[in-house]
């Protein structure tokens, strides 16, 4: 009877409530092949069975006239309970008037006594269950319009019902298409939808073989819940091949994370978040299409939880410290210390040094980055003021503004308040926004950046060339300074193509009258080449790594001394 799922033994549970033993036995005999039957001999016992912790009934067959507590009272109590109201009731009666009354009270159907045609009764029970299951999950939209698979909401509602009846080992799979946004960008949204629709069809075709159900969770992420397979490598590889045939966008790549559902008390959402964690692990890693949730990943998750838990204390106790890396202007006779970048460091009392590469992406995912960045901005501004008071010169500091901050409606206000606190001008605190923040959400971010520029803030486009930006981005997006990604500098002297690309970007920037900062300069050869090409500003280990404020002060003193000497020589 189960048209919903092809997996395992999953009989629906039916509660038969009748005070007469013979009736209970008769109904039991008719229905027990199809359903898992429980019995109660009066209303009170029925209510006890229905409210027991493990109760999961799909249907109640209810006699009306019973001692202790009759059927009407059962209907009434069920109707007044939000959960029990969802279970359909078929009343069993021989009285016409009682039929009408019970239907009015909320019963779904009735069966007349004596029970003569077992197949009719069975069919009625099945139909009522189908109707009610349809009704309770139909309230959720069942199908995702684009992929034709279930929607996420329906998928989980359905899964909840399913898992109580499954006794074979199951797996949760999360599938993601890397760089899917390229299809939309290169060929338009319509093409994107077509690819997703065909891909949904490919997944649907698989489901019969692996005995599973599937949904599209969001944009290019799909969930599958299926019987455990020995390996998914062939399946995902073949999906990947078929996916490549669906579109001209060559860079698409499929990856899958797998979690073997072990602990039944976990919520299914937890299974899928683990499968997703495994899937995220192989983002951008060529050669591995599938990954399983592992102990290592579990430990990583625990580590991340720890960081999330510790962040407030880290701020309060100054375990989070702002370091400063100098930026030098290189076009004059000697490199001149012009500004600095504020970079956060976490010196954890128990875990030791934690790289921002570890916790920044984590905090970007859960929004904590706003708190951390706000702290960094305030510290940086206060430091600029201290140096100004101490040395009489202003070293403007650039702070990193995460893509998440851009959508903080209070961003502008927060920044302005910070300037006011330290009596700084917008010129004294520049904002670094990573290139990919623009391409992720082009429209919204441009507006925000424009407003910030109207306030007088200077915007540096960070990591330019690291993502999938095109050169015309340079003319379309508002910014004041371009920070060339480190990878360019690294490759520049190793291959000619990279060198020419850097030259080209320099030419365009010069034409647009935008200064260029080169990041990650480590060697004198790189510095000389950049200077020759007309690069304005350089940041990198060649000059100095990021330093704590007191050590950075040494660089300022040196700069002051140089300036004094130059002044004396003039």
Is residue 360 near ligand C2E by the rule CB under 6 A? yes
| Chain residues 344-403 in contact with Mg ion, contact rule CB under 5 A | 400
Rounded (10°) angle between helices 411-421 and 442-454: 30
Residues 6+ away with beta carbon under 8 Å from 211: 5, 6, 7, 8, 226, 227
Q: By CB under 5 A, which span of 73-81, 424-432, 492-500, 506-514 interacts with Mg ion?
A: 424-432
Judged by beta carbon, residue 92 or residue 344, the one nearer ligand C2E is 344
Judged by beta carbon, residue 343 or residue 395, the one nearer ligand C2E is 343
Provide, rounded to whole angstroms, the least separation between the CB of residue 341 and ligand C2E: 6
DSSP letter at 495 equals: -
Provide, rounded to whole angstroms, the least separation between the CB of residue 466 and Mg ion: 8
| Chain residues 252-291 in contact with Mg ion, contact rule CB under 5 A | none
Instruction: Spell out the SS3 assignment of 301-355.
Output: HHHHHHHHHHHHHHHHCCCEEEEEEEEEECCCCCCEEEEEEEEEEEEECCCEEEC
Choose which of 45, 220, 379, 432 interacts with Mg ion (CB under 5 A): 432
Judged by beta carbon, residue 166 or residue 320, the one nearer ligand C2E is 320
Q: What track of x and - describes contact with ligand C2E for positions 208 through 227 (by CB under 6 A)?
A: --------------------
Is residue 463 near Mg ion by the rule CB under 5 A? yes
Provide, rounded to whole angstroms, the least separation between the CB of residue 398 and ligand C2E: 9
Provide, rounded to whole angstroms, the least separation between the CB of residue 342 and Mg ion: 9
Provide, rounded to whole angstroms, the least separation between the CB of residue 502 and ligand C2E: 16
State residue 221 phi and psi, 5-degree precision. -115, 130
CB 102 within 8 A of CB 75: yes
Is residue 460 near Mg ion by the rule CB under 5 A? no
Judged by beta carbon, residue 419 or residue 481, the one nearer Mg ion is 481
Provide, rounded to whole angstroms, the least separation between the CB of residue 363 and ligand C2E: 8
- The residues pairing with 483 across neighbouring beta strands, listed in sequence order, are 517
Judged by beta carbon, residue 155 or residue 323, the one nearer ligand C2E is 323
Provide, rounded to whole angstroms, the least separation between the CB of residue 486 and Mg ion: 7
Residue 45 contact, options Mg ion, ligand C2E, none, Cβ 5-8 Å cut-off depending on partner type: none
Q: How far apart are CA 37 and CA 24, in angstroms?
A: 10
Q: By CB under 5 A, which span of 163-171, 345-353, 415-423, 430-438 interacts with Mg ion?
A: 430-438
| Chain residues 494-553 in contact with ligand C2E, contact rule CB under 6 A | 519-522, 539-541, 546
Residue 465 contact, options Mg ion, ligand C2E, none, Cβ 5-8 Å cut-off depending on partner type: none
Q: How far apart are CA 70 and CA 62, in angstroms?
A: 9
Q: What track of x and - describes contact with ligand C2E for positions 463 through 482 (by CB under 6 A)?
A: x-------------------
Judged by beta carbon, residue 166 or residue 401, the one nearer Mg ion is 401
> Regarding beta strands 516-518 and 537-538, do their DSSP bridges make them parallel or antiparallel, or are they unpaired?
parallel
Q: What is the CA radius of gyration of the chain?
A: 33
Distances (CA, A) of 318 to 347, 348, 536, 556: 9, 10, 35, 24
> Which of these, 283, 301, 300, 299, lies nearest to 291 by C-alpha position?
283
Judged by beta carbon, residue 236 or residue 376, the one nearer ligand C2E is 376
Q: How far apart are CA 293 and CA 261, in angstroms?
A: 10
By residue count, the chain amounts to 570
Provide, rounded to whole angstroms, the least separation between the CB of residue 462 and Mg ion: 4
| Chain residues 324-353 in contact with ligand C2E, contact rule CB under 6 A | 325, 343-344
Out of 45, 99, 519, 559, the active site residue is 519
Judged by beta carbon, residue 239 or residue 505, the one nearer Mg ion is 505
Dihedral angle sign, alpha carbons of residues 83, 88, 93, 96: positive
Residue 360 contact, options ligand C2E, Mg ion, none, Cβ 5-8 Å cut-off depending on partner type: ligand C2E
Within a 10 A sphere around the Cβ of 424, how many other Cβ atoms?
Answer: 20
Q: Is 519 annotated as catalytic?
A: yes
DSSP calls for 171-239: EEEEEEEETTHHHHHHH-HHHHHHHHHHHHHHHHHHHHHHTEEEEEEETTEEEEEEE--S--HHHHHHH
Q: How far apart are CA 547 and CA 539, in angstroms?
A: 13
Is residue 402 near ligand C2E by the rule CB under 6 A? yes
Q: How far apart are CA 484 and CA 470, in angstroms?
A: 14
Is residue 408 near Mg ion by the rule CB under 5 A? no
Is residue 170 near ligand C2E by the rule CB under 6 A? no
Is residue 462 near ligand C2E by the rule CB under 6 A? yes
SS3 for 145? coil
Binding site residues, ligand C2E, CB under 6 A: 325, 343-344, 355-357, 360, 369, 373, 376, 400, 402, 432, 462-463, 519-522, 539-541, 546
Give the catalytic positions in this structure.
519
- Interface with Mg ion (CB under 5 A): 400, 432, 462-463, 519
């Amino acid at each position: 009877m189960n048209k919903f799922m092809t997996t395992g033994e999953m009989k629906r549970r039916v509660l038969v409530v009748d005070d007469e033993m013979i009736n209970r036995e008769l109904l039991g005999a008719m229905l027990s092949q199809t359903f898992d039957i429980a019995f109660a001999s009066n209303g009170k016992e029925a209510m006890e069975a229905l409210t027991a912790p493990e109760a999961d009934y799909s249907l109640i067959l209810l006699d009306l006239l019973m001692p202790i507590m009759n059927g009407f009272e059962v209907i009434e109590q069920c109707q007044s309970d939000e959960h029990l109201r969802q279970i359909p009731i078929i009343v069993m009666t021989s009285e016409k008037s009682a039929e009408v009354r019970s239907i009015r009270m909320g019963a779904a159907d009735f069966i007349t006594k004596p029970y003569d045609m077992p197949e009719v009764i069975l069919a009625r029970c099945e139909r009522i269950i189908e109707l009610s299951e349809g009704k309770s999950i139909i309230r959720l939209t069942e199908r995702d319009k684009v992929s034709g698979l279930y929607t996420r909401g329906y998928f989980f509602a359905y899964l909840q019902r399913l898992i109580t009846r499954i006794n074979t080992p199951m797996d949760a799979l999360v599938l993601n298409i890397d760089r899917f946004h390229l299809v939309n960008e290169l060929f338009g949204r319509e093409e994107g939808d077509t690819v997703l629709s065909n891909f949904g069809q490919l997944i649907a075709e698989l489901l019969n073989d692996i005995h599973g159900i599937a949904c599209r969770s969001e944009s290019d992420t799909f969930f599958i819940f299926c019987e455990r397979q020995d390996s998914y490598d062939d399946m995902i590889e073949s999906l990947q091949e078929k996916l490549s045939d669906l579109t001209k966008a060559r860079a698409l790549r499929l990856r899958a994370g797998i979690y073997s559902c072990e602990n039944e008390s976990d919520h299914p959402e937890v299974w899928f978040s683990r499968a997703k964690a495994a899937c995220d692990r192989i983002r951008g890693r060529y050669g591995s299409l599938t990954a399983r949730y592992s102990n290592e990943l579990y430990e990583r998750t625990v580590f991340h939880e720890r960081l999330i838990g510790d962040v407030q204390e880290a701020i309060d106790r100054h375990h989070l410290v702002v370091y400063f890396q100098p930026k030098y202007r290189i076009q004059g006779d000697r490199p001149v210390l012009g500004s600095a970048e504020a970079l956060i460091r976490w010196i954890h009392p128990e875990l030791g040094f934690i790289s921002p590469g570890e916790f920044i992406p984590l905090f970007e995912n859960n929004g904590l980055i706003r708190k951390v960045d706000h702290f960094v901005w305030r510290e940086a501004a206060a430091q600029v003021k201290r140096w100004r008071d101490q040395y009489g010169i202003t070293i403007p500091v650039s702070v990193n503004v995460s893509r998440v901050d851009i959508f903080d409606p209070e961003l502008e206000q927060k920044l302005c308040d910070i300037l006011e606190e330290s009596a700084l001008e917008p010129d004294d605190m520049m904002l670094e926004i990573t290139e990919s923040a623009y391409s992720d959400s082009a429209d919204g971010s441009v507006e925000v950046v424009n407003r910030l520029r109207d306030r007088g803030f200077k915007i540096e486009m960070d990591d330019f060339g690291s993502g999938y930006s095109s050169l015309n981005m340079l003319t379309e997006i508002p910014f004041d300074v371009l920070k060339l990604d480190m990878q360019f500098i690294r490759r520049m002297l190793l291959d000619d193509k990279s060198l020419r690309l850097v030259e080209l970007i320099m030419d365009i920037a010069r034409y647009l009258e935008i200064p260029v900062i080169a990041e990650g300069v480590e060697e004198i050869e790189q510095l000389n080449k950049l200077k020759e090409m007309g690069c304005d500003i350089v940041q990198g280990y060649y000059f100095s790594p990021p330093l704590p404020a007191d050590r950075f002060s040494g660089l300022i003193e040196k700069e002051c001394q140089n300036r004094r000497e130059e002044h004396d020589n003039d």
